[in-house]
Structure 1
Amino acid sequence: MDYKSKKVIGMGVVTELTGLSERQVRYYEEKGLVFPERTKGGSRKYSFHDVERLVEVATKLEDGWRIQDIKERERRLSAKQRDDLIRGQLNSAFRTFPTKK
């Protein structure tokens, strides 16, 4: 695991780094856009990837995106990434070359 993936950043630092309020950060979590870990005491811990994600989400919302649009785009990208991965594995297994679309 790289250092950017470790969930070690508390809410106070996240709000300082992103410029978002605690309420905004909790709202994005509630909407399934970011997934912090919880300590035994219930405090949220975020990774650097989470911080980058929060900034990305906030920027898209400022640009007029809706939360539903963000989640739908990610769902489509995830499906494409999965398809690309499977295609790559098949190409590797059968020593074929990808076709251009």
Structure 2
Amino acid sequence: MTSQDDSYLHKKVMPIGTVCELTGLSERQIRYYEERKLIFPKRTNKGNRKYSFSDVESLMDIANKMEDGIQTSEIRKEINKRKEKTSGDKIKQNMIRGQLNAQFNKGHYN
């Protein structure tokens, strides 16, 4: 999947009502997950929440974990670890890309 294909997954365009229909969760549950800092919807100028397809996937994952008895604090720790790993992976990719570009340009232009 390319980054262009991936972009629609993260575009926050869905209102909470649509997310409720897709997930089977209530607005109250979704807002609770937001309060617990498990999900981060975008807010419109009028304060309405907007969600992405990746948010819907996250909400389903959170709901399943909650059903299994996992506490929100544990879910938040897992989310934070995942974000740190993703951030670290991006840094590594950028470093490698920079090294390859430097090597290619050095060899190509000399």
Coarse TM-score class (shorter-chain normalised): 0.7 to 0.9
Look at both structures and tell me which one has the larger radius of gyration over its CA atoms.
2
Instruction: For 1:37, give the aligned amino acid.
Output: K
Residues 38 and 79 of structure 2 are in contact (CA less than 8 Å); yes or no, is this contact kept in structure 1? Answer: no
Instruction: For 2:24, give the aligned amino acid.
Output: G
Once the two structures are TM-superposed, the CA of residue 83 in structure 1 deviates from its matched residue by 4.2
TM-score, reference length from structure 2 = 0.72
Structure 2 unpaired stretches of 5+: 104-110
Q: Call closer, same or farther: CA 1:85–1:19 in 2, change over 3 Å.
A: same
1:74 matches 2:74: no
Q: Quick one: percent identity of the two aligned structures?
A: 46
TM-score, reference length from structure 1 = 0.77
After TM superposition, what 4+ stretches of structure 1 lie above 2 angstroms from structure 2?
74-95
Q: Call closer, same or farther: CA 1:36–1:80 in 2, change over 3 Å.
A: closer
Structure 1 unpaired stretches of 5+: 96-101
1:41 matches 2:46: yes
CA RMSD, aligned part only?
2.1
More helix by share: 2
Once the two structures are TM-superposed, the CA of residue 38 in structure 1 deviates from its matched residue by 1.3
Provide the residue aligned with 1:65 in structure 2: 70
Instruction: For 1:49, give the aligned amino acid.
Output: S
Once the two structures are TM-superposed, the CA of residue 76 in structure 1 deviates from its matched residue by 2.6
Once the two structures are TM-superposed, the CA of residue 27 in structure 1 deviates from its matched residue by 0.6
Taking the aligned partners of 2:43 and 2:96, their CA distance within structure 1 comes to: 41
Between the two proteins, the alignment pairs up a number of residues equal to 95
